Structure 1
Amino acid sequence: MPTCSTTKSCCSAEKRVQPATSIEAATIQATSAETTSRYKWSVGGMDCASCASNIEKALATIAGVKQVRVAFATERLLVDLDQKASPETIEKTVKQLGFTLKSTHQKAVEAPLWKAHSTFILLAVLMTLAGIFMLFDSTWGSSGFLLATALGVVPFARKSLNQIRNGTWFGIETLMTVAALGALILGETIEAGLVLLLFSLGELLEGFAGRKAKAGIKSLMQLTPDTAWKLQDGERIEVPADFLVPGEQIEVLPGDRLPVDAILDSTLGCFNESALTGEAIPVNRETGEKIMAGAMAVDQPARLTVVSQPGENAIDRIVTLIEEAEERRAPVARMVDTFSAWYTPLVMGLAALVMIIPPLLAGAAWTPWAYKALTLLLIACPCALVVSIPAAVTSALASAARFGALVKGGAALEQLRNIKVLAFDKTGTLTEGKPRVTCVVGISEQEDEVLSLAGSVEMGSSHPLAAAIMNETKSRNLRCSEATDIRVLTGRGVQGTVSGRNIKVVAPRYIDDRDLGVNKSTIESMESAGNTVVVVQDEETILGLIGLADTLRDDAIEAIKKLNSIGVDSIMLTGDNRRTAAAIADQLGIDYQAELLPEDKVKAVQDIQSQHNGAVAMVGDGINDAPALKTAELGIAMGRGSDVALETADAALTHERLIELPRMIQLSKNTAKITRQNIALALAVNTLFLMTTLFGMTGLMAAVLSDAGGTVLVTLNALRLMRK
């Protein structure tokens, strides 16, 4: 690994990450030990994916930059530099674009809402005051709108100049600046202010959505603790988790999460691994088994040996998978940015020709043609076109919300209509996510007595299986006696004394086959049906068996059938065992893949994509689903799923009704049709008045009317989606 100790940014090649100064201290990898080093920063101030794209474009033009990548979701900037460039150049360029850079080890401080969107707040206040003044005195009102526009255009103009300096000549900020200044020259102060106010409102909403998305990823990163208990010379020492290296031994207390990937040294251990597998039922682990970072120790302290390098544990890999998925999909620039890349220079060039050619070639007066050119610019400001898509999208999103579907923006809504395969997580998605008692087999006692005795020793336990047993006893109105001498059998079950009887509730694999006898075949049959089985004993006598399982959602089978009817195939991807997965998949009549870790789900989604040329959506609810949700063309989360799944996904079923999935796809198709109509309508209105202005048939009033009238038309057309 190369070192950068000669740079002013304090770069270091040490494996143990040390705190940095203003520029990131750690060189995380390099393509050449002689010439290229990679640097990492945290970027602040990005409101949307187009911000990340603008940073990438600007940095790519700097001499010495070999590669640059900005991950919007995790706010990380990675740059490969050779000896010709310095980290200080990167920091200076990014700051010129209006963003901030911090070391990834510095705690990020969120800017207050009023400061982050001060332009919108200033414009809104000044425009409101100007409107009030206009009611009493038109002169004061006009002056107020003039002041609002003059102050509001400054940030846009400054950002436009910075973008031009870094190679982006015709961004959306350029269009807004020219349109506002053109309207001011024509004396249309209200129009000028509204152009800036509406655009600032859009920036505010995008910023809100961006912060929500990034908050979900940050909550994922917080799954691993900052410190760990390291065992050294027989003592426990609290150390930063980033300083742990492979081979060191640590101890994790009950209720704490693992900060690293590690091998279990203790004889037995029980861990809640739902953060990675999505399965709520804790898993028993034995000596030598590998436990992933983020897993929680359940019932007793566990000693483990570290196996992951700093920054390379399971949670870090999930974050990296999300970043790589974003990179493969590429940040999609807003439609207006793409459109303005050719539309803005074309219209500005046409306006310049209108202003210059008649006076120069025909001896016409300058003032009328300058006025006509500015009028053309005002007409050309594509307000109706810009509104045409958001109007349709907003109507569709409102319609979707009525039946319990939250779709995050127009890109996700449009992608829905192309989906050909839906990949489902199992627990919490196709199933309820809560284990229930599905069957009770009485052997030496009646069923109710077996449940009552099990409930007595499980009373007060927070274990999901214990809770399921207690719920079943309540539903049957069974009386549970108070147990004494309750003792947890680590990794096996629990025991206690009930009315003088020594009752045990244990997993069948910890009972000798000779003791199970003929009951072994019954247990295997129950497990093949997708149940987790516990055995209730009195000393060595088997009293009965209790089967627990996660049950299908009520509408799962109907949803799969409706998806099939509209040409959408389904497959289940789960971290659960194969027998349970097979039982669930058989009820639904779909294919499945089981025992998958987060990276396995990503690979499975990629394999499905290669078979179907993309057009794959992933439906899930857990943190372990986040990378797959991001990798798929579309991610759909369940409404009560993890924060990371909800924020990573492109859509969510807030009412958790799977039957709404086919309806979402149909809504997407209707929205696409309305959007095409709106674009055609907006372009037709703009083109008509552009031509009439060039031939002197219309003037400034027509420009204002065309802008307002076109906007009204496309909005009314979009409202038809609300009816549907």
Structure 2
Amino acid sequence: MMTSFNGEMLMQYRIEGMDCASCVGKIETALTRMPGVSDIRLNFATEKLELTLASDAATQAGDIEKTIKSLGFGVSATPQTAHHQRWWQTRKGKQVVGLGMLMGAAYALALFFPTYGAWVFAAAVIVGVYPFARKALALGLSGTPFSIETLMSVAALGALVIGEAEEAAAVVFLFSIGELLESVAAGHARAGIRALASLVPKTAVLLDALGGQREVAAASLRVNDHVLVRPGDRVSADGVIIQGSSSLDESPVTGESVPCAKTTGDHVFAGSINVDGVLEVRVEKTAADNTIARIIQLVEQAQASKAPTARFIERFSRYYTPAVMALAALVVILPPLVMGGDWSTWLYRGLALLLIACPCALVLSTPAAIASGLAAGTRRGLLIKGGSALETIGRVKTVAFDKTGTLTEGKPRVTDVAAFTQQSGEEILALFASVESGSNHPLAKAIVAHAEAADTLIPTASNASATAGKAVHATVAGRALAIGSPVYAAQAAILSTEQQAQIETLQNDDKTVSVLFDEQSREALGLVALRDESRDDAQQGVAQLKAMGVRSVMLTGDNRRTAQAIAGHLGMEWQAELLPEDKLHLINEMKLNTKVAMVGDGINDAPALATADVGIAMGGGTDVAIETADAALLKNSVTDVAHLVALSRATVIPPFSTVLICRI
């Protein structure tokens, strides 16, 4: 894509095949050397490249694409979303499969015809090393002469020269596997970004000045446009309601499990789900600046904040590669010249040094304790993404927990049923379930499920309707009944002082209260209270962390009353009414003084998971959280956080680590 501005052209490309921050550095180095190219911005997470090209420069758009392709990367002029292939369908995947087949054939031939086996090994080396040697040459010409590819190519070809074709083939094969695994890991990281972006609908219903409706791309919406949001739709843009009332599920943004009642004048977030009413919303932010877009930016920035390690590896390779090659040259040259050594012997030894020093050995070799720790964690349902994460978890002194879906089940459950009349609690529950039976609201589903679990006979309702965001109505056994919030019930029915006190007590205990009343007589018949209960093992998990010297704090988007009730029960600190950027800010503050882990399950947790020293996702959480995190708790158990810390501490404390791990 090309945009002309003030004599300069803004070029946009999509780059394929970037697996790490090192790839970014190689492309930037090559482009910087091209005349007329400036303002290079390459985003590893989104695979997008932007640069400025002077209109009178000798460099042409074709030259830029040719340079990038010569480095071994794919490039397209339109930064659109690509078709995502399975690993075996990719170029790197096909290379690994092909090399594996060649090596298998070579080993089979070597058993019966050793001479032919050596030739097949040699063929595997030539086929396998070709793309790396070609890339090494291109990198050398573009300003990166001492790359990892250079060392690997020289080492493999050197081994072939001295007659060690089998070892050379193994080096190429293992390096190819490492490249493929890196590519797969990068793809998983990008999958989380794509899942975030998919939360915002692609289209919106735009209203014109005369009330006409037409479907447009959500990305085309502008500030002050009016859009229609129907029941079941996702909100297409951040904005304010100018007409209508409804309940909105804002869990993708705030993490709050219970839908919020919204009416005229209230703000709504892009990606929220409209539950029951029709809304007219005035757009306040464009697609590039809405809540989900900001969350994506926060995740990308948080992932980029881990770049110092990647930069260290890149700096290390700049010195390591030429140092090893210089040392190997000295081994070949000095003994024959100074001590009269045999040239062929010392050539063999110099090339053997290159082979041994090939960086794939550094990348692929994992200490026994780390390997055992990762395996032990997997057996217990603790999925840990690499030895670095395993080592860091044991040094954590503060664990920040999301509330909904992490410390709690994430689903409201009926906790209390009370009758205000002579009817029994079971009869009131039956009436509640009857009126709510036609609703898709999460609270309605919880009430019906509770009644069915109690084998309650639910009478048939008719004339069901809803007042969006306020109440549901139905006729049951000839009576016009309604269920609404305490605020609505106080307006539409008569609540005694005792009944209001009972409702207030339940609300102070972090419970959501619904009131059943007769619309004709205005008599209040009873109430049902619901709450998102904490996980069975949450209190035990927090206590175990405390015993290990680890502080626990709850970070939630829910209201302060809810947070205080849950945190008080679990015996931990808390912060409430937090948006994703607020959680991120608090995590960064904690990191100034100690190592911090973040445990969450939702989309709104992704930025904090990415920026924490260790991000831990609940296994039942969203794909975004799991892809962003460094570890996942497959059993959804809070006590497994303590098990992770214990496993890490056992792994990194020699010399008894292996023994301890084997006993876990």
Query: TM-score scaled by structure 1?
Result: 0.84
| 1:583 Cα deviation after fit | 0.4
SS in 2 for 1:224: coil
What runs of 5+ residues in structure 2 fail to find an aligned partner?
Answer: none
Equivalent positions of 1:34-433 (< 5 A) are 40-59=12-31, 68-79=40-51, 88=61, 91-102=65-76, 106-111=80-85, 113-117=88-92, 118-232=94-208, 233-330=210-307, 332-333=309-310, 340-362=317-339, 364-381=341-358, 385-389=362-366, 392-433=369-410
| Alignment CA distance shift 1:284-1:213 (3 Å) | same
C-alpha distance in 2 between matches for 1:606 and 1:376: 44
Write the deviation string for residues 313-363 of structure 1: whole angstroms up to 9, x where unpaired.
111111111111122221643997665443332232122122223344455
Equivalent residue, structure 1, for 2:466: 488
SS in 2 for 1:265: strand
Equivalent residue, structure 2, for 1:593: 575
| Alignment CA distance shift 1:633-1:91 (3 Å) | farther
| 1:639 Cα deviation after fit | 0.6
C-alpha distance in 2 between matches for 1:578 and 1:334: 41
Does 355-364 or 443-452 show the bigger shift? 355-364
Work out which of the residue numbers 502, 505, 515 in structure 1 matches 2:494.
515
C-alpha distance in 1 between matches for 2:161 and 2:315: 27
C-alpha distance in 2 between matches for 1:528 and 1:103: 58
Equivalent residue, structure 2, for 1:713: none
| 1:633 Cα deviation after fit | 1.6
1:618 maps to 2:598: yes
Which amino acid in structure 2 is aligned with residue 289 of structure 1?
A: D
Equivalent residue, structure 2, for 1:464: 442
C-alpha distance in 1 between matches for 2:576 and 2:362: 47
Equivalent residue, structure 2, for 1:18: none
1:575 maps to 2:554: no
Which amino acid in structure 1 is aligned with residue 547 of structure 2?
A: S
8 Å contact from structure 1 (residues 406, 653) kept in 2: yes
Equivalent residue, structure 1, for 2:433: 455
8 Å contact from structure 1 (residues 171, 337) kept in 2: no
C-alpha distance in 2 between matches for 1:388 and 1:342: 21
8 Å contact from structure 1 (residues 433, 550) kept in 2: yes
| 1:548 Cα deviation after fit | 0.4
C-alpha distance in 1 between matches for 2:148 and 2:659: 27
SS in 1 for 2:72: coil
SS in 2 for 1:546: strand
Work out which of the residue numbers 484, 501, 504 in structure 2 matches 1:506.
484
Write the deviation string for residues 339-397 of structure 1: whole angstroms up to 9, x where unpaired.
54433322321221222233444555533332332233334446665444265444322
8 Å contact from structure 2 (residues 151, 325) kept in 1: no
Equivalent residue, structure 2, for 1:549: 531
SS in 2 for 1:255: coil
SS in 1 for 2:562: helix
Does 365-374 or 595-604 show the bigger shift? 365-374
| Alignment CA distance shift 1:516-1:68 (3 Å) | farther
SS in 1 for 2:415: strand
Equivalent residue, structure 2, for 1:635: 615
8 Å contact from structure 1 (residues 529, 583) kept in 2: yes
Write the deviation string for residues 662-685 of structure 1: whole angstroms up to 9, x where unpaired.
2211222333346xx89xxxxxxx
C-alpha distance in 2 between matches for 1:493 and 1:589: 36
1:476 maps to 2:454: yes
| 1:496 Cα deviation after fit | 0.8
Does 390-399 or 181-190 show the bigger shift? 390-399
Which amino acid in structure 2 is aligned with residue 546 of structure 1?
A: V
Equivalent residue, structure 1, for 2:546: 564
SS in 2 for 1:333: helix
SS in 1 for 2:494: helix
| 1:59 Cα deviation after fit | 4.2
| 1:130 Cα deviation after fit | 1.1
SS in 2 for 1:323: helix
Percent of counterpart pairs with the same letter?
45
SS in 2 for 1:389: coil
SS in 2 for 1:511: helix
Does 477-486 or 211-220 show the bigger shift? 211-220
| 1:258 Cα deviation after fit | 1.8
| Alignment CA distance shift 1:56-1:672 (3 Å) | farther
SS in 1 for 2:638: coil
SS in 1 for 2:277: coil
Write the deviation string for residues 253-286 of structure 1: whole angstroms up to 9, x where unpaired.
2212122112111131222212111223221111
Aligned length: 654
What runs of 5+ residues in structure 1 fail to find an aligned partner?
Answer: 1-8, 14-33, 679-716
| Alignment CA distance shift 1:205-1:105 (3 Å) | closer
C-alpha distance in 1 between matches for 2:450 and 2:174: 57
1:497 maps to 2:475: yes
| 1:68 Cα deviation after fit | 4.4
| 1:97 Cα deviation after fit | 2.0
8 Å contact from structure 1 (residues 398, 722) kept in 2: no
